[in-house]
Amino acid sequence: MYFADENTLGLGKLLRRSGRDDVVYPGHPSLPEVPLGTLDLDWMPVIAARDLVVVTRDKRIRTRPAELLAYREFGIRSVWIGAKRDLGPHEQLELFLRHETRLQREMVKRGPGPWALALGEAGVRPLRLADG
């Protein structure tokens, strides 16, 4: 269900260690086509084909022209984890778990991509994809 990119690698690993099997990340054995160091534009079609939701801290991924084009072309769905301060992996985990039910409702409501959501202390809100 989720792909934790390299910006949220620690979160992805913590979720897996907690027993979750619905999270993969670059370098995970279940995702051999996305080794560590894979560029965004190279993993985006793979993740879209697997129908995974990207979990990231890279706010600009949805505004750079090439990535924005890939968002639209592949129907990327993403959740940006952010707060007023930089969060470490354990804080990201706590935030993610606290709001995951609401996040899942939003994912169902929004359906196929492209779309982007922000996950912060106050909960989940939509993010606008830049015009491209």
Q: Output the DSSP codes for 28-96.
A: -TT-TTS-TT--HHHHHHHHHHTTPEEEES-GGGGTSHHHHHHHHHHT-EEEEE--SSPPPHHHHHHHH
User: In the predicted model, is pLDDT for residue 85 greater than 80?
Assistant: no
By the 8 A CB rule, do 68 and 62 touch?
A: yes
34-82 per-position pLDDT tens digit: 999 999 999 999 999 999 999 999 877 667 888 889 999 999 999 999 8
Which tokens sit at 9?
A: 């690698």
Q: Of 43, 103, 48, whose CA–CA distance to 77 is shortest?
A: 48
Residue 65 sits in which domain range? 2-127
User: In the predicted model, is pLDDT for residue 28 greater than 60?
Assistant: yes
What total of structural domains would you count in the chain? 1
Is residue 115, in this structure, part of any structural domain at all?
yes
Is residue 6, in this structure, part of any structural domain at all?
yes
Collapsed DSSP state (helix, strand, coil) of residue 105: helix
Is residue 132, in this structure, part of any structural domain at all?
no
Q: What are the φ/ψ torsions at residue 76 (nearest 5 degrees)?
A: -65, 140
Q: What is the CATH number of the domain that holds 111?
A: 3.40.50
User: In the predicted model, is pLDDT for residue 132 greater than 70?
Assistant: no
Is residue 68, in this structure, part of any structural domain at all?
yes
